[in-house]
Amino acid sequence: MSAPPPLAHNPNFHRLWSARAISRFGSSLGYVALLWLTFAETNSALAVAYVGLAGFVPTIVVGIFSGALVDRFERRRVIVLSTLGRSAAMGALVLLLYVGGFHLAFVLVASLVFSACATFFAPGSQALLPEIVDRGSLANANGLFESTEAIAGIAGNGLGGGLVLAVGAVPTLGIDAASYLVGAILVALIAVAAASPRPSDGGSRPRMWDEVREGFAYLRNAVALFELTMLALVLNFLISVLLTFIVVYSTSLLHGSAVVYGLLEACLAGGYGVGALLVGRFGLTRHTGAVWIYSTFAQGALLVLMVLVARVPVALPAFLAFGVLQGLANVTWLSSVQATVPERLQGRYFAIDNALSYAAIPLAQIVGGVLIAFYGVGPTLLAVGLATLAAGVGALFLRELRQYGYDPSARTA
């Protein structure tokens, strides 16, 4: 089989890239519109929490099994059906809101269905990329994905608020639904080579749970990846405390306005995009484990600095650097996994990792909220920074992780 063309001349990559960017833009629009509509109609923070919970639960319940289905069927088809499902869920909600008016039950059911369909998109697109891109280009491809999606998310959030004011929340949700249709069409146009036979193509088909267990067994036996997943789980918990309460940090410690808060978010997102692009340029996937360990130290040090020297001129570059470190870590991980995990297991690996990552976030939000309520944002973030530094110290003893990486110039079958 001939190698895929370079990224600049690879139409399959351009289609997947565009589909992911458009979907991210649409989901950012929809997120703003849905939460605004819910709060405006109910005037209840609890109702907003219910919507968030409805979006979270399927990520864990369905997410564990989504990877097995991604590995069982043609990945392009799974992504298309997932994207069409999100479009249908949001489109049905728009229709119900127009016909029957606002009912929280409509929003909750639509959020459940939407999130269940969405759990297939990330592992599907992450596992599809090595099928359409040369392995030496994975880091650059992931860097472009991550930086573009960061920009699309910022644009979607900003435009979402304007559209809600200009045309209303329900039409904005309609635009969100339409964006997924465009994304599905783009993915459907991707040309993939004939895949090796999967269990669904004939013969004895393993039980779904057996395939899920195989994914967990692989992760457990791949020592470096298991160590990386455990480190990521700890970091997701710790860093989510900061990311959830940036607005509290900006107002309570920096005594800043909404402009300062917006600048902090922009620095974080912009830094992430820069870090994502640097991985391929400098071949950092050769040192994926080391990138994770040292970025853990650096993120902990930045957190401590942002608390001890709580000044806007310090916080802005610190958040920019924080974003760069996160972009570096995420793209080195994605690219190395896509190059080293067996193709038939990639869907399950990514699904398990995504489920574990999301599992840390709500717990971090609850714990962080309680700690801030009792001790204040400064002591809480200082403790998080010190804990992050401790995680970096612990990671130094993970020998397999220290040595883990992928040489993009190596050619493997």
pLDDT band at 4 (very low <50, low <70, confident <90, very high): low
Task: Give the dihedral sign, CA 119/157/16/226.
Answer: negative
State both tokens at 399: 């020998």
Q: 195: helix, coil or strand? A: coil
Amino acid 317: pLDDT: 95
pLDDT tens sequence across 121-163: 888 888 888 888 887 888 888 888 888 888 887 788 778 778 8
State yes or no: pLDDT of 199 exceeds 70: no
Alpha-helix runs per DSSP H in 119-257 = 121-132, 138-167, 169-188, 208-221, 223-244, 246-248
Mean pLDDT in the chain?
A: 85
Residue 113 tokens, joined: 């269905």
> In this predicted model, which residue has the larger pLDDT, 261 or 315?
315
User: Does the reported pTM lie above 0.85?
Assistant: no
Residues of the chain with pLDDT > 90: what percent? Answer: 35
pLDDT tens digits for range 38-89: 888 888 767 877 887 787 778 777 877 887 888 888 889 999 999 999 999 9
Domains in the chain, CATH or no CATH each: 7-193 (1.20.1250.20), 208-403 (1.20.1250.20)
Q: In this predicted structure, what is the pLDDT of residue 413?
A: 39
For residue 295, pLDDT beyond 60? yes
Q: Are 181 and 88 in contact (CB under 8 A)?
A: no
- Residue 9's contacts (CB-CB under 8 Å, 6 or more residues apart) are none
Of 138, 190, 195, the closest CA to residue 338 belongs to 138
382 has a pLDDT exceeding 50 = yes
Q: Side chain identity at 97, as an amino acid letter?
A: L
CA Rg, the chain, in Å? Answer: 21
Query: HSE (CB half, 13 Å, CA atoms) of 386?
Result: 8
Write down the pLDDT at residue 196.
Answer: 42
Sequence-ordered strand ranges (E) for 277-401:
none
> Could you read off the pLDDT of 208-221 as tens digits, one per residue?
777 888 888 888 89
- Identify the burial level of 16 via C-beta atoms within 10 angstroms of its C-beta, where 0-12 means exposed, 13-18 middle and 19 or more buried: buried
Least confident of 89-98, 197-206, 287-296: 197-206
Separation CA 325–CA 310 (nearest Å): 20
